[in-house]
């Protein structure tokens, strides 16, 4: 009985997270997000990340999405909100690096488009090579994939079809890059099959 209830609660929680971008945000959700960001520590290496997380709409939506997956406070572990903070910090670091190439400071949504995909991929690669951690690259790839879906959802809510299509294109590009091995092997198999048929 307990397992069935847990599965049901998880299902409801996941469903709520999926439709969250289409709903009016609850005050308590926003307050919880603000508390999570307020507890973010500033560092000398990466100053100003807290301000980026407070102000960037897409990073905030990303934070709300992950907080929604945690469930109510009484079900959360101490480190759960720390994990959300870490994910938001990673995206904020990426945004700061991306804006280093620009004349003005743009929001994250400006870079989540097909035209900026190569720049984002190059910046992610530079970031994980600097610290020698391919795991950071993999994590950022998954975060960007989630953010591109959130952007599409937000654009759908605002009936902005043009931006929605851009978000979907980025999601496809990121998915192919993150899951590159599987994508390449499928393409190679299809090519070899067509060659065999021609022979």
Host domain of residue 53: 2-198
pLDDT tens, per residue, the chain with 199 residues: 445 556 666 655 565 555 555 455 566 788 889 999 999 998 888 899 999 999 999 999 999 989 888 877 777 777 889 999 999 999 999 999 999 867 788 999 999 988 999 999 999 999 999 999 889 999 999 999 999 888 887 766 666 555 545 555 555 655 655 555 433 334 444 444 444 444 4
Q: Taking a C-beta distance cutoff of 8 angstroms, is the pair 37, 81 a contact?
A: no
Count of domains forming the chain: 1
Report the pLDDT value the prediction gives residue 150, as an integer from 0 to 100: 87
């Amino acid at each position: 009985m307990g397992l069935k209830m847990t599965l049901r609660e998880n299902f409801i929680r996941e469903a709520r997270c999926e439709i969250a971008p289409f709903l009016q945000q609850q005050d308590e959700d926003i307050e919880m997000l603000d508390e999570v960001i307020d507890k973010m520590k500033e560092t000398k290496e990466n100053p100003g990340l807290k301000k980026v997380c407070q102000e960037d709409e897409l990073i905030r939506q990303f934070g709300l999405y992950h907080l929604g997956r945690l469930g109510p406070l009484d079900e959360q572990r101490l480190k759960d909100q720390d994990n959300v903070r870490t994910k938001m910090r990673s995206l904020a670091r990426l945004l700061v690096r991306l804006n280093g190439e620009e004349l003005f400071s743009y929001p994250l949504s400006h870079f989540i488009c097909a035209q900026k995909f190569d720049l984002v991929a190059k910046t992610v690669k530079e970031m994980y090579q600097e610290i020698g951690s391919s795991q950071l690259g993999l994590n950022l790839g998954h975060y960007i994939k989630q953010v591109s879906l959130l952007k599409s959802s937000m654009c759908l809510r605002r009936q902005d079809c043009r931006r929605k299509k851009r978000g979907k294109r980025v999601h496809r590009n990121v998915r192919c890059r993150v899951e590159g091995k599987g994508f390449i092997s499928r393409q190679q198999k299809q090519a070899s099959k067509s060659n065999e048929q021609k022979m």
